[in-house]
Amino acid sequence: MIRKEQTRKGVYMQEKLQIGVIGLGSRGMGLLKAVMLEMEDIEVTAVCDVYQDRQEDAAAACKEKYGKEVTMTGDYHEILAMDGVDAVIISASWAAHSRIAVDAMRAGKPCASEVGGAYSLEECWELVRTHEETGVPCMMLENCCYGRDELMVLNMVKQGVLGEIVHCAGGYCHDLRKEIAEGRENRHYRLDNYMHRNCENYPTHELGPIAKVLDINRGNRMVSLSSVASKARGMNEYAANHNHAELADYPFAQGDIVTTTIRCAHGETIVLTLDTTLPRAYSRGFTVRGTKGLYQEDTRSIFIDGMHEKFEFNLKGMWGNAEEFREQYEHPIWKQYLAEGVKGGHDGMDWLVFSAFFDSVRQGETPPIDVYDMASWMAVTALSEQSVAMGGLPVAFPDFTNGRWIAREPIIERHFCLDKICE
């Protein structure tokens, strides 16, 4: 029997959270089966997708897990109106994330959204306004914030090992040509975006960890952005050679490589790279440069001033040396995670980011990636689209906190905290 208890903030919450899942494509279904249905402290009670076959597949998986029927629907408003749903997970198409999140907050349902970029700045502002009007939490499920290396580096930064941080870089460098080309048959949204938009369309995977390194929205903020895009040729080449004749001569809007430079209030710079339509190996390129040293993901190298001078002209000699720093700087989240057993997808990151959201709901607390983070990170897409269209001219970055970034409310110290190191 599920029992309700009152949290210290006066919010009635169930011992086992009842969850509605909205969006059951490849990502949503993968998260349902590999993460949510494996968690013993939640129960998925409702599933939603515009496609009937996806609804049925998800409902069948839930019945197999729980031994009973769950609600399935093609209208997410039905889930938002259900008493038997404490919180919702949004894994629909990019264009729907913000709209569903706004409706969820207005319905009083804490929500967590999969990643993606915004189509307009107004979309980001509406997220913020709705949260401030309702007080309902909204979190972005940026799993890379809980990557093992990202968290180790965050720990090193907070302890001052890399000195004062000056520059960070990262990106989404992932050969997605097959997924894009098969967008119609797989009912995937990415193809339409590549056909009609030219921007940094998927900025959050390394911007998220970088934002936490640089204290964005909590003592620092992003103030300006400039983006340039290369020509678009990769999809045409791929389509011509892989039986997608209808796309071989299509004038794709999305440049093959988009480079975005962001300047922060305290003078730091960030460089993001989108590289998804040319042949390559996967990389997020996470790089942190400080006055005392650096971390570089692609070579899994750490260089510390006064420790590694002998490698100044021998970078290969340092490849992989990040492992030498594990014992001393492993983040507490991952120390516990490794002891308990790594679970879920994407090297365990999915499990951690979902655990962080459910923990915040259960406690009635602000999530570790909050609505201001979500709005700021998503805004990169809309701003980059403007800048690319103007030949790379810089555009001003909105302050979604309305000045509160200078001295925001105290950080909530919980296990999944990303703004400081919490044991």
| Tokens at 133, concatenated | 């009007």
User: Of all helices (H) and strands (E), which one includes residue 260?
Assistant: strand 257-264
Within its chain, how far is the Cα of 82 from the centroid? 27
| Tokens at 329, concatenated | 């700087």
Count of CB atoms within 10 A of residue 84's CB?
15
| Tokens at 171, concatenated | 């990106």
- pLDDT at 220 (0 to 100): 98
Residue 410 has pLDDT above 70, yes or no: yes
- CA dist., res. 21 & res. 46, Å (int): 6
For helices 94-106 and 121-134, angle between their N-to-C axes, nearest 10 degrees: 20
- pLDDT tens, position by position, 153-182: 999 999 999 999 999 999 999 999 999 999
Helix (H, G, I), strand (E, B) or coil at 387: helix
Contact between 27 and 114 (Cβ < 8 Å): yes
The CATH number of the structural domain formed by 145-407 is: 3.30.360.10
Of 371, 213, 384, nearest to 287 by C-alpha is: 213
Of 155, 149, 156, nearest to 292 by C-alpha is: 156
Q: Which amino acid is at 187?
A: R
Q: Considering the entire predicted model, what is its pTM? A: 0.95
| Tokens at 10, concatenated | 């006066």
Q: Per-residue confidence at 6, pLDDT binned at 50, 70, 90?
A: very low
- pLDDT tens, position by position, 115-128: 999 999 999 999 99
| Tokens at 284, concatenated | 């997020």
Residue with the larger pLDDT of the pair 349 and 344: 349
Sign of CA dihedral 5, 6, 8, 9: positive
Contacts of 423 (CB under 8 A, 6+ apart): 332
Of 179, 195, 73, 137, nearest to 362 by C-alpha is: 137
Burial 346-373 (b: 16+ CB within 10 A, else e): bebbbbbbbbbbbbbbbbbbbbbbbbbb
Residue owning tokens 């709005």: 375
Whether 4-141 shares its CATH topology with 145-407 is answered: no
pLDDT > 90 fraction of the chain, expressed in percent and rounded: 91
Domain residue extents for the chain: 4-141, 145-407
DSSP 368: S
Of 207, 163, 142, 201, nearest to 377 by C-alpha is: 207
Contact between 254 and 274 (Cβ < 8 Å): no
- CA dist., res. 219 & res. 212, Å (int): 11
Chain-wide mean pLDDT for the chain?
95
Helix (H, G, I), strand (E, B) or coil at 242: coil
- pLDDT tens, position by position, 193-221: 999 999 999 999 999 999 999 999 999 99
Of 200, 46, 186, 20, nearest to 109 by C-alpha is: 20
The CATH number of the structural domain formed by 4-141 is: 3.40.50.720
Whole-angstrom CA distances from 324 to 3, 73, 132, 152 are: 47, 51, 44, 12
- pLDDT at 14 (0 to 100): 55
